[in-house]
Amino acid sequence: MAKKWSSRLTNWVTKTIELPQDVMMDLPRITMIGQIHIYIENHRGLLTFSDQEIRLLLKQGQLLIKGHSFVIRTILPEEIMLEGKIEHVQYLEQ
């Protein structure tokens, strides 16, 4: 019950203060440029990386990115920029 109330309060605060939902709800922000770059903000860590697959931990679930010729251009505690041929982006619930 408390979790449901907390979610409603977060939604109300987001709308009232006009803050982006990704900020208030701790969601990842994903920006893609065509099929060659993907920039992910607000992740919880890198789980796996190869030249064909990357898996990131999110607050709720994981993000799976598949393709080929992947190179990490930037990696920070909560941000990552990946370059390569991106073929598939999938959210995995836990």
pTM of the predicted model, to two decimals?
0.75
User: Which residue stretches of the chain have pLDDT < 70?
Assistant: 1-7, 9-25
State residue 92's pLDDT score: 95
CA distances in angstroms from 74 to 19, 50, 82, listed in the order given: 26, 15, 7
Residue partners of 14: CB distance under 8 A and separation at least 6: 20, 21, 24, 25
HSE of 73, CA atoms in CB hemisphere, 13 A = 10
State residue 94's pLDDT score: 74
Assigned CATH class of 27-92: mainly beta
State residue 13's pLDDT score: 63
